[in-house]
Every structure is written in structure tokens, then in C-alpha cells.
A and B are shown apart, each in its own frame.
Chain A
């Protein structure tokens, strides 16, 4: 059974949300200070979060 206390789930949710916030910052606001970094870092965090969530769904309970 998949548990919410699985660390992969916790990390996955956190970084997916962080990534989303950064991507929204890039698309919705106009900033002068290296705005492209929100896109790169946000995309990377979002992807990392998704990978952790995928590992959570596919992985075994032993590694939770």
C-alpha cells in the first residue's frame, strides 16, 4: 500500500508545487532581474518533483 509518509511523495509534491510557482512567476510577471531563471529553475524543480512522484507510484514500499 502506498503511504503518504513515503518520502518520495513528500519531496515530489513539494518540488512540483515550487516548480509551478516559479513557472507562474515567469509567465505572469514582468521582472528585470534574470526572469529566465524562474523558467529554468522552475522547470527543473517541476520535473524533479514529477520524477519523485513517479518513483512513489512505481516504486516498492521497501524504499519508502
Chain B
């Protein structure tokens, strides 16, 4: 891919604007609350777009296009079955507790609802995961830029990390959130033309469908058995593993996204943030998955475009979107497309770093290292945590480049940790009898159970089975991952209940505002229920259209 002057001009313009945002917001940052919580004063339209943009990182944009090319429209289950119901649930049922408790982070809610050990477990695991996710994102960016533009690994890593560092260090969360909204529009407007051109070249949706296996253009039709579809997952595993456990676990408990709703101006706005965000979210498959389907269809049709191959001769699905952009975009639009890819990586990285610095400052440093510091002291710690987060991300990027399997290993560990978390929150918010001991041991043993289950099952020849002869062989690694998540969730749920029943719960007066049955219901003039119903219905319609 050869960039010309207009392309570099657009990339430079983008860098100038994102850095300017940091310099302009800098003057608004006076306190820790400004830096880490945006003073809880961000308008609804910004929190809603930032909510989905924080998740619109490299794995989403590049990964979903790759998955679209490999598995087809079934990939949309991550959106229409997983994300939409979970985001609506978060808005209706969980935000009242996150926002109403005035907790500054998800781990801090755990401290209020349960105890400090549960908070520490979640905070340390989250801090570790965000830094490593950010590093993996940086590594993927550098690898992509090396392949498509020939930029050196060092140049890509230090340029991207340096820019994210400057604007997050100067403007904190507000700066990151503002840039996330800009990045959202850039990603949509920068990638949508490739769908338009691709569909035109392929002969519309009919042309795409004609050149793909029938199982790739239906969401549900081939899910009766795992062997009937390329994903190797049946409907039950999809609904329970992805639709319930993993999606609710991520969208309802991951501070990276929940933080965007927690900085809204009011409870009503905080509740509506994920619900309104669910509308653009349900449209994202047309931007990020369709390019994969189009790339595969054009390749099968024998057009002048074909998906590139890896050195070992296998199709390189990860290059579906970049290769379409390189093939079809003229100079100028190519600059917008490359900037959109850059934006997706930087958005993901900034999201991770701003969530990390908040959790580190409030849930690790203030909770265990220095309890009674001044506000200016914690502001300084927040800024130092930002620098550390970026440096650790760079370190992880280099580590990942040196160990081929590190990325896979870390993704696996993250799934073990995330899966049981929703069980802890669901019990904590809706069953007042749940105790701190129950939550802590449920989380810990649920995670351990996930690891053991992965160790005794196998997929794709070498995934799992590290604890000896497999007791079950899955059709695909994805099917195995969904099953691992389900086992972890059920394990955590049962263990938490059993231990809670034999340990002493908190006094009811301590749980007001933290548990559903003990929290007075507010009559709000702007109830989010009506709009939530509309979003669920729209999600159902999309499922039916591509059934």
C-alpha cells in the first residue's frame, strides 16, 4: 500500500486534532475528580458514543472483519445476541447501583457491597488485564502498519503510544472520551465506503450470498448442531456462553465500558447511556463484519480482489479489512481509511489506560498504599499511573512480539477471569444474603474451575487438554471458550450461594442503595424502559432478517 501526500495530510490532521484536544482540556483539569472521573459532567450523547467507542479497538475492527470472512454473518451474534441485551440490562438494572452508590469504579462498588478482599481481587485482575490488552492492541497496530505501510515496529509503537500518552496525560478521561467520539465517527465514515464499494463490486447482497457457503449468510439457520456451521457452535452454547455469560460479563461489569456511563451528569443519563449506545452498536456489524463477508465473496467469485495468504499458504483473515481498503480506496480516501484503523487502535489503548489509572489510583493506591493523601497527591498519582500504563503497554507489545503464543495465552487468561464476574455482580445486586466471603471465593474458585475445564477438554488439536487426556473434544476453539465461560459462571454462582449461606451477611442498613430489594424505586420523568424495549425489538428484527 502506497500512501501519497493527501493521505499523509489526513493522518497528520488527525494527530494534530487529537493532541489539540489534550492541550485544550488540560486547563479544565484541576482535581482528581476532573482527571479520573471527568467531574461526572459529560453530556449524554458523548457518554453514549464513548461507551461503544471504548470497545471499538483493534480486536473489534480488524478481528470482527476477520471473523466475518471466516465464519460469516454468524459473527453478528456478538452484537445482536450478546451486546444489545447486555447493554440494555446494564442500563435498566445495574446502572442505578453503580451510579447511585457514588462508587468511583466497579471494584469500589464491590468494596461497598462486599468487602475489601473482593475489591482487591477484581482491581488487581482488572489492572493487569487492561495493561496487557493495551499492549496487545499496540502490538497488533505495529504489526499491521509494518505489513501494509512498511513502517518499522519501533516507529509505530512509539508514535501511537506517544500520542495517546500526551492526550491522556494532559486531559485525563475527558480528553480520552472526546477523542473516542471523534474516533467513532472516523471509524464509521472511514470504513463505510469500503462496504459501499465492496457491495457494488460483488453485485449487492445477492452477489455476496451467491458466492459464499449457505451457512455463512444465516445467523441461526445452521445452529442446530455444532458440526453444521463454520464456528463449530450449537444454538445452546451460543445463547448461554456468548449471549449470556460472556456478553453480560463484559458489558455489565468491565469498568472500561461502565466508566463511560458512570461519568454522565445524572442517574437518568447514566442509565440511558448504554441503552442509547445499543443503537449504533447494533449497526456496527454492517461496518465491521460486512467487509469480511465481502472480501470472502469477492475472493470466491474470482474478481480482481483476493484475500492475501499467510507464509504457510493459509488465508490471512486478519487482512480482510486492510486489504480491501488498500485495494479499492483512491488516494485521499486511503488516508481516511488508514487513519480510521489507527484511530481504532488508539481508541482501544486510551480506553484501557484511562480505566487502568482510575482503578490503580482509587482501588489500589488510595485503598492500600496511602489512605489520607491530599487531592493533589492523588491527581499526581493518577497522572503517574497514566505514564506507567503506557510504558507497561509498550513493554507488553515488545513481549508479545518476542513470544508468539503470549497473545493467545493472555486472551485465555482474560476469559477465565471475566466469565464468573457477572455471577458475582448478579448475586450481589439481586440477593441481599450474598456475603463478601461468598463473592470472593466464588470468583476465585469460578476462575480456577474455568482453567481446569479448559485443561481437561480439547479443540482444534492443540487448544486445551494441558491437564491430560481430554474428557471431551469440541468442534472449535470458540465452542470450547463458550463452554469454559458457562462452567465458570455456573461454578461461581453455586459456590457463592453455598458459602454465603454459611457466612454472615452485612446488615440491611449497610446495603441500601447497593441491593435491588433494599433500594427505594425512584419515579423518573425520563424512564429508560420505553427506549430499551425499542432497542430489544430492533435487535430481534435484525436477527429475523438474517435468520
Q: Hey, which bits of chain A sit against chain B, CB under 8 A?
A: 4-5, 7, 10-11, 13-15, 17-18, 21-22, 24-26, 29, 31, 33-35, 37-38, 40-42, 44-45, 48, 62-64
Please give the distance in Å from B198's CB to the nearest CB on chain A.
11
A9, chain B: closest CB distance, angstroms: 10
**B330–A38 contact, CB under 8 A?**
yes
Would you call B189 and A15 a contact (CB within 8 A)? yes
Is A17 in contact with B13, judged by CB distance below 8 angstroms?
A: yes
Bound complex: CA of A29 vs CA of B335, how far in Å? Answer: 15
* B328 partner residues in chain A, CB cutoff 8 A: 33-34, 37
Q: List 30 A-B contacts (CB under 8 A).
A: A5-B24, A7-B46, A7-B182, A10-B20, A10-B178, A10-B182, A13-B17, A14-B14, A17-B13, A21-B9, A21-B10, A22-B333, A22-B336, A25-B6, A25-B331, A29-B331, A31-B330, A31-B331, A33-B330, A33-B331, A34-B329, A34-B330, A35-B330, A37-B328, A38-B330, A41-B189, A42-B332, A45-B189, A62-B43, A63-B45
Other 6 A-B pairs with CB < 8 A, given A26-B332, A29-B331: A10-B17, A10-B20, A15-B185, A22-B6, A34-B328, A37-B333
Which residues of chain B from 1 to 33 have a CB within 8 Å of any chain A CB? Answer: 6, 9-10, 13-14, 17, 20-21, 24-25, 28
**B residues in contact with A64, CB < 8 Å:** 43
Using Cβ atoms and an 8 Å threshold, which residues of chain A touch B6? Answer: 21-22, 24-25, 29
- A14, B336: Cβ atoms under 8 Å? no
The winner among A10, A35, A41, A48 for most chain B CB atoms within 10 A is A41
**Chain A interface SS verdict (over half):** helix
B193 interfacial contact with A, CB 8 Å: yes
How far apart are B523's CB and chain A's nearest CB, in angstroms?
Answer: 24
A46 to B190, CA, bound (A): 13
Q: Mark B42-57, 1 if CB is under 8 A from A, else 0.
A: 0101100000000000
Interface residues on B, range: 20 to 34
Q: Does B112 contact A (CB under 8 A)?
A: no
Q: Is B298 an interface residue when CB atoms closer than 8 A count as contact?
A: no
Can you list the 4 inter-chain pairs with the closest CB atoms, starting with the nearest?
A: A25-B332, A31-B330, A33-B330, A22-B332
Cα A21 to Cα B332 with chains together (Å): 7
Q: Is the CB of A34 within 8 A of B197?
A: yes
Residues of chain A contacted by B335 (CB below 8 angstroms): 21
Closest to B28 in A: A5
Closest residue of A by beta carbon distance from B327: A33
The answer to whether the Cβ of B485 comes within 8 Å of any Cβ in the partner chain is no
Instruction: Contacts A5-B24, A64-B43 given; indicate if A48 touches B185 (C-beta within 8 A).
Output: yes
Q: Does B181 contact A (CB under 8 A)?
A: yes
Known A-B contacts A5-B28, A17-B13, A21-B6; A11 and B182 likewise in contact (beta carbons under 8 Å): yes
A7 in contact with B336 (CB, 8 Å): no
Q: A37 to chain B: which residues have CB within 8 Å? A: 193, 196-197, 328-330, 333
Contacts of B20 in A (CB 8 A): 10
User: With contacts A5-B25, A37-B197 known, is A11 near B329, CB below 8 A?
Assistant: no
